[in-house]
Amino acid sequence: MASDVFVLLKTYNNSTKVDLTHDLSAQRAAVDRVLSAFRSICGPDGVSLGEAVREQHGKDESVHKCRPPDVVVFPRCVEEVSALAKVCHDHNLPIIPFGTGTGLEGGVGAVKGGVCFSLRNMDQVLDLHPEDFDVTVEPGVTRKALNAYLRDTGLWFPVDPGADASLCGMAATSASGTNAVRYGTMRENTLNLEVVLSDGRIIHTAGKGRRPRKTSAGYNLTNLFVGSEGTLGIITKTTLRLYGIPEAMVSAVCSFPSIQAAVDSTVQILQAGVPIARIGEEEREKLKIICDFKNSCENHDAYSTDVCVPLSRLPQIIVETKEDLLESRLTGPIAGHVGDGNFHCLMVVDPNDPDEQHRVHLFAERLARRALAMGGTCTGEHGVGLGKRVLLQEEVGPLAIQVMQGLKETLDPKNLMNPGKILLGLKGKRLFLGV
């Protein structure tokens, strides 16, 4: 009973596209006034204006590009994060939190310039409680680093989005990955967060130092910040659930005559209650080979997009998506988590071919709308970032968007926290009029 089962379903092959919007004009005046304050907070080595550093902190692993931040700061503790945020708040400077830069929807682009908070120097694993199956980590701790740290405890943290992402960044983007069928996503595995609000105040979403495995005490602030993509505050600590490492893991590769047959089998496996950890497709490995090759030889970009639909709609959306890829003259594999209806198109795009880039963008939009038409979501695990703001509006409708805008204005009235992400606009969008 103490085993995880991995099922790999055989499927096919296909392709990609990209958008590059560069705007590198600096917005240094306001920043210049606060540099000495920044340096006195996190030391002269904790503030960087270098172009290479700023460039590196202005983009993630997606093709979405806008502009780099005006300055990058490297706080060493939550008190420094708080002090830096206060300065930014006083001077109306945008704040963009940065973990490992492994996001896929442009979440770290400095749309309005401002200050990138690189949190890599806060890399401590804190408060490991093996007997309670929980641990608290700072934003510089990646999931692989945590699992290496846990190696001798018999425990692990199973949420695995592929990249070796910062765990606090994974909380910020509501990441999940291939093991979500069994272990859930960051939403289910985050017990508490320490968050620095836009004015520097420090909040603990479930109360300071608390780590009950469940609670019904008050509004669920933890899950308000999970998935908020840095737009409501800076996550400086995350308390996570841990799990016993399965004594045995069983992997199986099954061939099916059709995608419908593969999905039908998945439904039956889930219905039978088999403790499946992941049910994927073989494309992932194939893709990696293609990407590694193309990246090393031809300097292509990778374009990754994801959607999630109810299980039963997977065959139809996959078939339609493959046809669309062909018609769009794109090749890129589909990698799916069949167990939860989430799948990706991972494509390689020539950054010097604007026509191909355009076709990939149109393809990704059609894919998302296809998912929406089937009762699904435009993103199962990548987040909204810059890339899916219009699609989010279509997904949840104008009133839900107004509620989100209301929450944003409540928690960040100056719109300084990672501005321009998730929501397209804010001004004048009061939820209740005339009250």
What residues numbered 275-294 form the site for a second copy, per CB under 8 A? Answer: 275
1 makes contact with a second copy (CB under 8 A):
yes
Measured from the CB of residue 95, what is the shortest distance to a second copy in angstroms? 15
* Residue indicated by tokens 């392709």: 15
Choose the stretch contacting a second copy; rule: CB under 8 A; options: 15-23, 30-38, 58-66, 224-232.
Answer: 224-232
328-347 residues in contact with a second copy (CB under 8 A) are 340-342
Asked if 109 and 59 count as a contact pair (C-beta separation under 8 A), the reply is yes
Count of residues touching a second copy (by CB under 8 A): 105
Does 311 sit near a second copy (CB under 8 A)? yes
Cβ nearer to a second copy, comparing 47 with 175 = 175
Is there binding between residue 270 and a second copy (CB under 8 A)?
Answer: yes
Question: Which of 126, 289, 410, 424 is close enough to bind a second copy by CB under 8 A?
Answer: 410
Our finding on whether 397 is near a second copy (CB under 8 A) is yes
Residue closer to a second copy by CB (options 268, 299) is: 268
Which residue, 259 or 422, has its beta carbon nearer to a second copy? 422
Q: Which is nearer to a second copy, 76 or 313 (CB)?
A: 313
Q: Is 422 in the site for a second copy (CB under 8 A)?
A: yes
Decide whether 180 or 287 has the Cβ nearer to a second copy: 180
- The yes or no reply on residue 370 touching a second copy (CB under 8 A) is no
d(CA 246, CA 194): 30
Of 11 and 405, CB closest to a second copy = 405
The most distant pair of C-alpha atoms in the chain lies apart, rounded to whole Å, by 66
Options 379, 418, 419, 420; binder of a second copy; rule CB under 8 A: 379
Min CB(126)–a second copy separation in Å = 13
Q: Write each residue from 229 to 268 as x if it is in contact with a second copy (CB under 8 A), else as -, in one continuous string.
A: ---x----------xx-xx-------------------x-
* Residue whose CB is less far from a second copy, 87 or 423: 423
Query: Can you tell me which of 381, 417, 419, 420 binds a second copy, judged by CB under 8 A?
Result: 381
Shortest distance (Å) from residue 273 CB to a second copy: 4
- CB under 8 Å to 432, separation ≥6 — which residues? none
Residue 178 binds to a second copy (criterion: CB under 8 A): no
Name the residue type at position 414. K
Query: What HEC string does the chain produce?
Result: CCEEEEEEECCCCCECCCCCCCCCCCCHHHHHHHHHHHHHHHCHHHEECCHHHHHHCCCCCCCCCCCCCCEEECCCCHHHHHHHHHHHHHCCCCEEEECCCCCCCCCCCCECECEEEECCCCCCEEEEEHHHCEEEECCCCEHHHHHHHCHHHCEECCCCCCCCCEHHHHHHHCCCCCCHHHHCCHHHHEEEEEEECCCCCEEECCCCCCCCCCCCCCCCHHHHHCCCCCCCCEEEEEEEECEECCCEEEEEEECCCCHHHHHHHHHHHHHCCCCEEEEEECHHHHHHHHHHHHHHHHCCEEEEEEEECCHHHHHHHHHHHHHHHHHCCCCECEEEECCCCEEEEEEEECCCCHHHHHHHHHHHHHHHHHHHHCCCECCCCCCCCCCCHHHHHHHHHHHHHHHHHHHHHHHCCCCCECCCCCCCCCCCCCCCCCC
Residue ranges in 179-218 that form contacts with a second copy under rule CB under 8 A: 180, 184-185, 187-188, 197, 199, 201-218
Nearer to a second copy, 84 or 338 (CB): 338
Provide φ and ψ at 103, rounded to 5°. -65, 165
Closest CB 369 distance from a second copy, rounded Å: 13
As a residue count, the chain comes to: 435
* Minimum separation from the CB atom of position 62 to a second copy (A): 14
Q: How far is the CB of 373 from a second copy (least distance, A)?
A: 10
Decide if residue 354 touches a second copy (CB under 8 A).
Answer: no
Residues numbered 114-173 forming contacts with a second copy, rule: CB under 8 A: 129, 131-134, 154-155, 173
| Least distance between a second copy and beta carbon 78 (Å) | 14
